[in-house]
């Protein structure tokens, strides 16, 4: 059985035909249109094109934003001009078949649970470190969506009272301290002090910023300034995982996103900080940590699998 998964991002739309074992049979990408109506037409055209060459059972669409409990309406989206957008109905009208709509972080987490680093677990939390911090929670083999459909927004727990302003309108959210963007902020602050920040300062690009790939290269070279910046981000993430442990009690934390490519250089300080914040650490079962395996394909794989299970 083959399903189509579509992952709508702020700059690109990824689509693919996905087999029952999570294997991508065919994949395509296009730029994301700025107009909402044009975007729906683009998704419909992608599905029609893929379905013309494969016998498709179900269609799933993943998108960033708050989705209502009926999994039909995009209540708010951070990168696309959607407010109370009836996206599922719009897509079904164009595609001519049922569509499963899901939040992109949830879809990616489900893919890791089913086919990636979370295989074999029953209770898993995934945190994706990108521009922000995406979250997904699987409890007893079920994806947590919450009573209003917008649960598992783990990047928006308040980590610092009165802290940095967040794009959500609040202050001090975790994603301001534990994301890929937060790593850049920490690196730039360290670079401005001189001393151990000298190599970071020298890595500034023409726009004056220190971008993620340059920071990663310095981390892998064991540069002390880059390692200090990573340590601050990892500590914030690990301490928050301790809090998530107290509430959700997962067996496993899966860490994804660009920063996760740093592997144990990220996970070691994350686990150290986690050990200081779990209630009863040393006298209770605790979670293990793993790096996500499916990387940029997770969203379309996960939503394709969810669609197949719901039809």
pLDDT exceeding 70 applies to what percent of the chain?
99
pLDDT tens string 68-125? 999 999 999 887 888 999 999 999 999 999 999 999 999 999 999 999 999 999 999 9
pLDDT at 311 over 60: no
Rounded Cα distance between 44 and 2, Å, is 17
Residue-range domains of the chain with CATH? 2-111+296-310 (3.30.420.40), 121-292 (3.30.420.40)
Kindly write down the DSSP assignment for every residue of the chain, as one continuous string.
-EEEEEEE-SSEEEEEEEETTS-EEEEEEEEPPSSHHHHHHHHHHHHHHHHTTS-EEEEEEEESSEE-TTS--EEE-SSS--EEE-HHHHHHHHHSS-EEEEEHHHHHHHHHHHHSTTTT-SSEEEEEESSSEEEEEEETTEE---TTS----GGGSB-STT-SB-TTS-BSBTHHHHSHHHHHHHHHHHHHT-GGGHHHHHT--TTS---HHHHHHHHHTT-HHHHHHHHHHHHHHHHHHHHHHHHH--SEEEEESGGGGGTHHHHHHHHHHHHHHSTTTTSS---EEEE-SSGGGHHHHHHHHHHHHH-
Other Cβ atoms less than 10 A from the Cβ of 236: the count is 23
pLDDT at 34 over 90: no
Rounded Cα distance between 24 and 239, Å, is 36
pLDDT at 54 over 70: yes
The two tokens of residue 269 are 């300080």
pLDDT at 10 over 90: no
Rounded Cα distance between 7 and 108, Å, is 10
Rounded Cα distance between 190 and 183, Å, is 11
Q: What is the mean pLDDT of residues 281-287?
A: 95
Question: Mean pLDDT score of the chain, rounded to an integer?
Answer: 95
Q: How confident is the model at residue 309 (pLDDT cuts 50, 70, 90)?
A: confident
pLDDT tens string 119-145? 999 999 999 999 899 999 999 999 999
* Comparison of pLDDT for 310 and 140, the residue scoring more: 140
Rounded Cα distance between 77 and 238, Å, is 28
pLDDT tens string 153-179? 999 999 999 999 998 899 999 999 999
pLDDT tens string 178-205? 999 999 999 999 999 989 999 999 999 9
């Amino acid at each position: 059985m083959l399903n189509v998964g579509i992952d709508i991002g702020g700059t690109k739309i990824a689509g693919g035909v996905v087999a029952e074992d999570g294997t991508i049979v065919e994949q395509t990408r296009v730029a994301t249109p700025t107009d909402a109506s044009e975007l729906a037409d683009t998704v419909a055209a992608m599905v029609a094109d893929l379905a013309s060459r494969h016998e498709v059972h179900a269609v799933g669409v993943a998108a960033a934003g708050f989705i209502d409990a009926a999994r039909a309406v995009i209540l708010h989206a951070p990168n696309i001009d959607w407010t109370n957008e009836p996206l599922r109905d719009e897509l079904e009208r164009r595609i001519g078949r049922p569509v499963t709509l899901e939040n992109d972080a949830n879809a990616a987490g489900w893919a890791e649970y089913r086919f990636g680093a979370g295989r074999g677990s029953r209770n898993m939390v995934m945190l994706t470190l990108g521009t922000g911090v995406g979250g997904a929670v699987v409890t007893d083999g079920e994806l947590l969506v919450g009573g209003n459909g917008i649960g598992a927004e783990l990047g928006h727990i308040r980590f610092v009272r009165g802290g940095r302003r967040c794009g959500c309108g609040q202050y001090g959210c975790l994603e301001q301290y534990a994301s890929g963007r937060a790593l850049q902020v920490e690196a730039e602050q360290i670079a401005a002090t001189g001393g151990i920040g000298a190599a970071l300062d020298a890595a500034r690009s023409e726009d004056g910023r220190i971008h993620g790939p340059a920071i990663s290269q310095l981390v892998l070279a064991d540069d002390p300034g880059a390692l200090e910046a990573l340590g601050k981000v990892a500590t914030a993430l690990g301490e928050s995982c301790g809090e998530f442990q107290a509430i959700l009690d997962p067996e496993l934390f899966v860490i994804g996103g660009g920063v996760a490519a740093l592997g144990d250089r990220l996970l070691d300080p994350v686990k150290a900080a986690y050990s200081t914040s779990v209630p009863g650490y040393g006298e209770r079962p605790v979670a293990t940590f793993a790096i996500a395996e499916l990387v940029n394909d997770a969203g379309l794989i996960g939503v394709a699998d969810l669609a197949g299970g719901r039809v």
